[in-house]
Structure 1
Amino acid sequence: MESATDSGPPLVFNSSDNVTVVDSSTSALNVSTSFALALKCLDFFNFYYLAVIIIFGVVGNTLNFLVFTRTHLKLRSSSYYLAALALADLGFLLTLLVVWLNHVGVDLFNRQGFCQALVYTSSVCSCLSVWLTVAFTIERLIAVQYPLQRPYMCTVRRAKIIISVLSFTTLSGHIYSLFTAGITDGPEGKSICDLLPAYYRFMHVVNLLDTILTLVIPFILIVVMNTLIAKNLIVFSRTFNRKKSRSNNSSAQHIQWPAPKQSC
């Protein structure tokens, strides 16, 4: 006697009690075909989308760096934060360019030496970009909250020191990337740049700390400081409008009630 599992394709009963035969092999084939088509579309989009981001990003950040360091804007402390931020973003885009070159047959990323250097550079640039944004936001908050103290607190020398400290801390804090990344065996026997299996547990802890230090804490700081900046600007705007309204009212009263003429 034939078992239920060997009785052929599954049967599906609709509301009118008609029997519909569903061929599981045909359904699986349709799903795999749709998945392959989606992957092709994503690859096509990824190829051109990344190319556009890299081209415009490299050109834009290069121009930003030159403007903030080669013009009169270099006299402002905030320009140094923006120049360093442009340089960090430029470094990350260049590492992204090397990865993108795999699409055109230039495989540098999956080579020993290049793999570790690119992983380290991308980690440093992304982390440094976040904390430079935090430092720039702090300076904006000082300028709005304490405008009279700003010339003494936000100096070019102090900006250079902060940028140097952030750079040194980030460079030294990501040295582990040079040891945890390497060439491993990927699918179809290809050598790929990936996390070495011996450091899986270590990187689990590192990724948790990295998420806290480069996402959670900076996000909270930026949101709080931007909220304080917006609050101060609103208060300043209301105070300015109130004073302007009083000035207009006093001017109108002066025009409506002129001084009486003296008789001879």
Structure 2
Amino acid sequence: MIHSTEKSILCRITDGLDLYFPPFLIVSGVICNVLVVLVMRSVYFRSISTSFYMMANAVVDTFSLIGLLTVDWLNVNYPSTIYRGDNSHYMCKFFHFFGWVSSDAGVLLTTAMTLERGLAITFPLQSSSWCTTKRAKRVTILVFIFVSIKNVNFLFTSDTYALNESDRLCYVYLDSENLKIFWKFVWPWIHNVFLFISFVAIIISNVIIIRHIKVSDKIRKTQRSLGSSECAGGQIATRQGSRKRQVASMLLVDSFTVIVCTLPFSIFTTLDSNMVLLAGSSGERDWKRFISSMSFYLLYVNRCVNFYLYSWSGTRFREALLYVIGYKKSKQKQPRVATISYTKVNTSVHACQSIA
């Protein structure tokens, strides 16, 4: 049993979260995502396939923040400003559909980016023909086709809550027994299996990347101790190793953030759809509302933090950012363009696609 004092504190925390946190996410997220797009379009990154995935992710995140989170913030804090007429269900069909599509696309684009890096390291000689921007565009189109098919049910089962009926604007109506079975048992499994496969692919790719970096570091240390200078010397190998570590750290942090920010909402949705979280007392309802808000906003935190992750883990990204905003234009004659390079060290071939 939750005491009234604790309940009132929890309500105030949730109210403050609903009022102040979304505007911060919207403003900072839009600015940061626009900067990511500009950097990915710069001469540093425009020819790299990975940069296209990052740019596509940033564009989707920007539209999601402006179109979805803004409306949700207005509905929670100023519900009378939202249209709730006869045709408002079309609005909710779009919001539900685009919200789930954008979230799933973000997970899949991160998966595609990490898988591509794992393939480039595993098959370095083929990576120049496999990891192209043309192929990245095709994969991105396939990603959006897949997630659109996966979430098409929201176009047929979404409707609008009446004024003051709920903190949320839209809901999924279950007007038949088949729909109830689908939403409670089939849909959660579809979504969770999708996330599980994506997360496993991300983890396996990162393990491959980390293992390759460790092997490369050992070979370079051995070469330095033997005084070897094959293929333009140890400086090139050292430079490539540094780039690989930057790429690995960026992908690891990015992948970890995707999992941390996506998993709580998936768990909450699964439990709630099976009525495990059906609230009884007022205190339980307050906790359910708080958990719902926290897990919901975590999804949008994931759509705002990529800029900070890239800036923190990639010197090349920071260098390109300074160039884009004009800070380095007068100090740098020609920017270093990120490229794919190969160095043969003894019997091992090392690939490094520098995006950091």
* TM-score bracket, shorter-length normalisation: 0.7 to 0.9
Counterparts of 1:64-83 in structure 2, within 5 Å, are 64-69=36-41, 71-83=43-55
Q: Distance in 2 between matches of 1:81 and 1:151?
A: 17
Q: Contact 1:144–1:229 (CA<8 Å) still a contact in 2?
A: yes
2:69 maps to: 96
What is the root-mean-square deviation of aligned Cα atoms in Å?
2.5
Amino acid at match of 2:82: L
Aligned pair partner of 1:229 in 187, 204, 209 = 209
Q: Contact 1:185–1:191 (CA<8 Å) still a contact in 2?
A: no
Q: Structure 1 residue 202 and structure 2 residue 176: aligned?
A: no
Q: Distance in 1 between matches of 2:180 and 2:143?
A: 28
Q: Contact 1:67–1:73 (CA<8 Å) still a contact in 2?
A: yes
* 1:191 to partner: Cα distance: 9.6
Amino acid at match of 2:89: Q
Q: Contact 1:109–1:118 (CA<8 Å) still a contact in 2?
A: no
**TM-score after normalising by structure 1:** 0.74
Q: Contact 1:184–1:194 (CA<8 Å) still a contact in 2?
A: yes
Task: Name stretches of at least 5 consecutive residues in structure 1 with no aligned partner.
Answer: 1-27, 249-264
* 1:146 to partner: Cα distance: 2.5
Greater CA radius of gyration, 1 or 2? 1
Amino acid at match of 2:187: V
Deviations 1:184-236 (A, max 9, x none): 458759995211032332212112211110x2111111111101110000000
| DSSP-derived class of the 1:46 partner | helix
Q: 233-242 or 31-40, which moves further after superposition? A: 31-40
Amino acid at match of 2:28: F
Amino acid at match of 2:27: I
Q: Distance in 2 between matches of 1:191 and 1:59?
A: 26
Q: 133-142 or 171-180, which moves further after superposition? A: 171-180
Structure with greater helix share of residues: 1
- Percent identical among aligned pairs is 26
Q: Distance in 2 between matches of 1:85 and 1:104?
A: 28
Number of positions where the alignment pairs a residue of Structure 1 with one of Structure 2: 219
* 1:149 to partner: Cα distance: 2.0
Counterparts of 1:128-143 in structure 2, within 5 Å, are 128-143=105-120
Q: Structure 1 residue 216 and structure 2 residue 196: aligned?
A: yes
Higher relative contact order (CA 8 A, sep 6+): 2
| DSSP-derived class of the 2:197 partner | helix
Change (3 A) 1:234 1:124: same
* 1:143 to partner: Cα distance: 2.5
Q: Distance in 1 between matches of 2:105 and 2:46?
A: 20
Q: Structure 1 residue 240 and structure 2 residue 213: aligned?
A: no
Change (3 A) 1:236 1:58: same
Change (3 A) 1:83 1:41: same
